[in-house]
Amino acid sequence: MKKFLKVFIICLIACCSIIFVGCKDKKDDLSQLGENLSNYYMEINYNDETKTLYAEQTLEYVNNSDALLKEIYLHLYVANFCNGASNSPIDDLHKAQAYPNGESYATLNIIRVQLNGKDIMPIYEGEDNDFMKVELIDPLEPTTSAKIYVEYSVTLPNISHRFGYVDNNVNLANFYPIACVYDDNGWSKNPYHSNGDPFYSEMANYYVNFSCSKDLICAFTGSVEEIADGDTKYYTINNMCVREFAIMLSKDFKTLSKTDNGINYTYYYLTDETPDKALQCAIDCINTFSTLYYQYPYACYNVVQSNFLYGGMEYPMLSLISDAIDNYDDYLNVIVHETAHQWWYSLVGNDQYSNPWLDEALTEFSTLLFYDNNQGYNLTHEGMINGMQENYNLFTSVYKDVLGEIDTSLTRNISEYPTSPEYTYCVYVKGTLMFDSLYQLVGKKQFLKAIKLYAQTYAYKISTPECLIACFEKSTKTNLENFFDCWINDKVIIN
Ligand SMILES: [Zn+2]
């Protein structure tokens, strides 16, 4: 995600016809890579009149851990959008902006749950009942799978957010039950938080059938097969190896498409006098980061302009860009940022709740590398770093004046940053300054070699800060323990 802090800087935030949009996956063999992943099979109908959706989902969960699992947890993010939720997606600072028509809440109705074909009563956990625990009758051995069927309906809130609608814009992210991650610490059950992107998910395959009224134009994670029948449109979306699945809808979308280097790009926009520039920016990003980091493995990439209270938000093969950004250089910069997330969060995954800087700071630093490699844009690496440094110093001095001292450590999880500005300045700005300092320390050639190694080592996997540091140390043959310790643990003085 990318946020804007306007006070200090902009750095951050009946006849049937068949149309094929997108094409087969290329480069990496995603079919092969996806063979042992969990599979989501979804049937979703969206009713735009009532702003509701009805869905049936079967998750074929594959135990890819070494542990014997006695239960499977699913995260129900919609629960956090319901009235009275303790872990609301909105902090007080953004409430007025988020609810343009007054406070509005979601409803979530779990109609039926089955385990391996038999009805069960799941256990709901968490302060907001936002985790569904499915107890397994027989423990799940490594490499084996269990099928969890969930029938549910959802009412969307009228909110300018990842999940919700405003006017004719409907953003459908985090709307379905998604498996929690089982890692070295057991099941990860961190709740929603208004800071940043409190998400953590593993690669999986998604097989989705989606229907809605034909006047809606829909953008999805992935390549789509579309069939119109009467007043309804039916979409089939099959994605191998993605961390999640999102849909953006509007009656007002205009589209611009182009194929470049075998990848289909589509820009869905509401108002843009120069849509070709936004589309070309997305193409330049994918080409640049494919060269610098790792070949973009998917067949399509969609950039979607929609209503969103922050600057932008990343999803596999899809970036959401807010329609409220009034400066076009900033708008393009958000496209660059969100597209860089295709590598940092999407391809190389991480626990964004526990280590938010790992993907956000590297993503923001990637925007600087983008401008190094694409001179036709109005922003530069040097100009952005100077602006960040100046404004970070201003931020810390203001906070020190008010509070006497300030904690700028990056070891904290998302919920441990007291305010949204502190989160943003530490994770995005300080984190980017850290990567720039490392870039200056080891030099461009060594830095790019190390980051390529990191991408190649952890593509399709989950990374940790230790993984990143180890890659840099291995590649540069330099002990960087003190360097990262100083920056991450609040010991560095930035002048
Ligand atoms: Zn971001």
Domain boundaries, the chain: 1-36+250-346, 38-202, 358-488
Residue 495 pLDDT: 62
Is the fold of 1-36+250-346 the same as that of 358-488? yes
* 331 pLDDT above the threshold of 60: yes
Distance 332 CA to ligand 1 centre (A): 14
Residue 493 pLDDT: 67
Q: Rounded to two decimals, what is the model's pTM?
A: 0.94
When pLDDT is cut at 50, 70 and 90, the band that residue 14 belongs to is very low
Instruction: Return the structure tokens found at 172.
Output: 């459908």
When pLDDT is cut at 50, 70 and 90, the band that residue 18 belongs to is very low
DSSP H or E segment with residue 334: helix 328-340
- Measured in degrees and rounded to the nearest 5, phi and psi for residue 230 equal 65, -130
Which residue in the block uniquely carries the two structure tokens 């953006």? 248
When pLDDT is cut at 50, 70 and 90, the band that residue 402 belongs to is confident
How far apart CA 26 and CA 298 sit, in angstroms, is 6
CATH homologous superfamily of 1-36+250-346: Neutral Protease Domain 2 (1.10.390.10)
Distance 262 CA to ligand 1 centre (A): 26
Distance 294 CA to ligand 1 centre (A): 19
Q: What is the pLDDT averaged over residues 130-150?
A: 97
How far apart CA 219 and CA 199 sit, in angstroms, is 21
| Nearest to 53, CA basis, from 198, 201, 191, 174 | 174
* Rg from Cα positions in the chain: 22
Q: What is the pLDDT of residues 429-462, one digit of tens each?
A: 999 999 999 999 999 999 999 999 999 999 999 9
Which residue in the block uniquely carries the two structure tokens 């480069």? 27
Q: What is the pLDDT of residues 207-216, one digit of tens each?
A: 999 999 999 9
When pLDDT is cut at 50, 70 and 90, the band that residue 21 belongs to is very low
Residue 2 pLDDT: 75
Q: What is the pLDDT averaged over residues 114-133?
A: 98
Q: What is the pLDDT of residues 354-382, one digit of tens each?
A: 999 999 999 999 999 999 999 999 999 99
Burial of 152 (0-12, 13-18, 19+ CB in 10 A): buried
| Nearest to 15, CA basis, from 208, 233, 236 | 233
Residues 285, 286, 287, 288, CA torsion sign: positive
* 4 pLDDT above the threshold of 90: no
Distance 199 CA to ligand 1 centre (A): 12
Distance 359 CA to ligand 1 centre (A): 7
How far apart CA 311 and CA 307 sit, in angstroms, is 10
Residues 154, 52 contacting (CB under 8 angstroms)? yes
* 8 pLDDT above the threshold of 50: no
Instruction: Return the structure tokens found at 345.
Output: 């969060």
Q: What is the pLDDT averaged over residues 384-413?
A: 92
Distance 436 CA to ligand 1 centre (A): 17
Kindly list the distances between the CA atom of residue 342 and the CA atoms of 67, 241, 335, 374, 470, in Å, as whole numbers in the listed order.
30, 12, 11, 18, 22
Residue 20 pLDDT: 37
Distance 290 CA to ligand 1 centre (A): 18
How far apart CA 385 and CA 390 sit, in angstroms, is 8
Distance 337 CA to ligand 1 centre (A): 6
CATH number given to 38-202: 2.60.40
Residues 83, 89, 91, 96, CA torsion sign: negative
CATH class of 358-488: mainly alpha
Residue 75 pLDDT: 98
Distance 366 CA to ligand 1 centre (A): 11
